[in-house]
Amino acid sequence: MNASEPIDALLEEADVALDDGEYEVAFEIFEDVLGRDPGHWGAALGRAEALHMLWRSEEALGAAHALMPPEDEEDDPDRADLEGRILEALGRFEEADRMFASAAELEPAEFPVPVRLGAEDFKTLLDKVLGALPRVIRDAVLEVPVVVESKPTREMADHEPHINPEILGLFVGTPVGEKVLGGNGYGDVVLLFQRNLERAGQSREEVSREIKITLLHEYGHYLGFDEEELEHLGLG
């Protein structure tokens, strides 16, 4: 990296890398900024975010905790929300929801309290969405079932390195055009991650829309569309 590059430019570069899924690159840039300015709060928060997206959850949690203000000062909603997401990735759901509530209290417009649905309620919503999908997708569902999980896990990421803790859904299997005789022995499946989907909308209606978009995207993968084609179809 250019040692003379201004910190603001480096932070912008790191944020772009985060948005593009280049989490290692983002982490290295945030580390560079902190090497120059150890007290830079935004870079420290970005570093914690990058650690979270790299599945380095315990390190990320420690980094987020290090940014907590003194007891007599107000917390930052971005920090509280990030801690909640890290706790979710660790499976500590009750603690996570307390942090999401804290972020919502601090800045309700930016961090609304997640819509939480029971298992049966989510299934009802999912069934309604499935029934309204285009025929080609409903036919695909007969071949590739939908399975709902609370969250993606590190174990999943070990098999699917491109996934991160915030993904909404995932197609696991072989696209139609690539199927051959004597496959790998594993059934195709589309996974939906309920807690991430619940946080993606501010109401049942918005969660329902996110479920629909995610299903269309993941079944698009099953039908053989690549990311560029999905973007062209409005399913990116």
User: What average pLDDT score do residues 12-19 get?
Assistant: 96
177 pLDDT tier (thresholds 50, 70, 90): low
User: Across the chain, what does the average pLDDT equal?
Assistant: 89
Q: Please say if the pLDDT value at position 141 is more than 80.
A: yes
- How many other CB atoms are there within 10 angstroms of residue 140's CB atom? 20
Alpha helices, H only, the chain: 7-19, 23-36, 41-53, 57-66, 77-89, 93-106, 119-131, 135-143, 154-159, 194-199, 204-222, 227-232
Using one digit for the tens of pLDDT, what is the confidence trace for 157-173? Answer: 988 878 999 999 998 87
pTM for this entry: 0.88
Model pLDDT for residues 39-86, shown as the tens digit of each residue: 999 999 999 999 999 999 999 999 999 999 998 899 999 999 999 999
What percentage of the chain reaches a pLDDT higher than 70?
88
Cα–Cα distance measured from residue 2 to residue 229, given in angstroms and rounded to the nearest whole number: 36
Residue 53 · residue 41 · CB < 8 Å: no
Q: Which of 29, 37, 36 is nearest to 10 (CA)?
A: 29
Please give the order of strands across the beta sheet that includes 146-149: 146-149, 189-193, 169-172
Question: What is the set of domains in the chain, with CATH numbers?
Answer: 7-106 (1.25.40.10), 119-232 (3.30.2010.20)
pLDDT given for residue 172 in this prediction: 86
Q: Which residues of 51-76 are buried (b: 16+ CB within 10 A; e: fewer)?
A: bbbbbbbeebbebbeebeeeeeeebb
Predicted pLDDT of residue 3 = 58
State which amino acid sits at residue 32: D
Convert the pLDDT of each residue in 192-235 to its tens digit.
999 999 999 999 999 999 999 999 888 887 887 665 655 554 44
